[in-house]
Amino acid sequence: MWLKDTLFVGWQDKDRPELPPLQELFAKYDAIREAVTAAFHGELSTEPKLWPHVATLSFTYAFNTYKAIGLVLPHFYHEAASSMLRQLWEVSLNLHWMERDPDRRAQDFCNFTVMEMRKQIAKGVGPDASELKEFDEATQRFQSKFRFVDRGGRTRSHDSFAASSIEMRSKELGTPWPEDFRLLYSLTSMHAHGAPGAILRPTFFQEPSRAEIMDKDSTGLVAIVAMMLITRDVALMTRQGLVPNSTSIDRDVLELL
């Protein structure tokens, strides 16, 4: 895969991978979007069980992000697309990680909203406010899952519903997720956080021809990775039996790449 041959942020001309023409990539991108839309068209599982519900909403969120990326790529706004690609990757990672133990992990996914709500309340009223104490008393059972005592004896909270880092989750899933993490996550995060390496990047491509090549290659790489991710998610939904009449996706969409 040519993604392994590039640093994504930039490379020397002699090492630049030969990507398919952008119009070809955009055509495939749109074809995947239309095929998935036609196959799902509001017929995602409405089963009341928690895991199908969480998986369906996660896939919908991922697919909406995929569609949003497709709106900005034709205009070469690869910086914004990179930020959304990070979003798509992390949503997809969590979806696939939950699939390994769906009932328990989907429950944790839902319960973690309590921790997120607590953080917002604390920011609004302060850590010692009576409102926060009342909230803690009412949600103690839910919060206990995400709390731990550190080496210094202090009670701390996990940063995610998984109680593990993104890197740990990628390693647990195995190939290709660890490779994605090493190559894509930190680089797309540079754009998401407006880091110096993202903002100053054009400085290193002052020649118009090199700047144009950089814009096109970055745009093409974002398109390729987004297509890879959404097809993984489609495959998961098919495996889980959450997509009715998925034959067309299996046959057509997954073969487009």
Residue type at 150 in one-letter notation: D
Is residue 185 in a domain? yes
Phi, psi for residue 148 in degrees, rounded to 5: -150, 165
pLDDT at 245: 56
Q: Cα–Cα distance between 172 and 126 in angstroms, integer?
A: 37
pTM, 2 dp: 0.83
Q: How do residues 148-167 score in pLDDT, each as one tens digit? A: 777 877 877 888 899 899 99
Is residue 56 in a domain? yes
* pLDDT of residue 108 exceeding 50: yes
Q: Cα–Cα distance between 66 and 188 in angstroms, integer?
A: 15
Number of H helices, E strands in the chain: 12, 2
User: How many domains does the chain contain in total?
Assistant: 1
Is residue 20 in a domain? no
Q: What is the mean pLDDT of residues 173-184?
A: 91
Reference 201, options 69, 6, 8, 10; nearest CA is 10
Q: Cα–Cα distance between 111 and 61 in angstroms, integer?
A: 19
Q: What is the mean pLDDT of residues 217-224?
A: 89
Count other C-beta atoms under 10 Å from residue 51's C-beta: 20
Reference 146, options 156, 136, 135; nearest CA is 156
pLDDT at 1: 42
Is residue 116 in a domain? no
Confidence at 6, pLDDT banded by 50, 70, 90: very low
Q: Range of 41's domain?
A: 29-107+167-255
Is residue 48 in a domain? yes
Q: How do residues 20-59 score in pLDDT, each as one tens digit? A: 788 888 998 998 898 888 877 655 555 578 999 999 999 9
Is residue 137 in a domain? no
Q: Cα–Cα distance between 46 and 236 in angstroms, integer?
A: 17
Is residue 9 in a domain? no
Is residue 22 in a domain? no
Looking at the DSSP bridge assignments, the partners of residue 157 are 147
- Mean pLDDT of the residues in the chain: 82
Reference 141, options 115, 104, 105; nearest CA is 115
Q: Cα–Cα distance between 57 and 205 in angstroms, integer?
A: 41
pLDDT at 60: 93
Buried b (16+ CB within 10 A) or exposed e, 163-176: eeebeebbeebeee
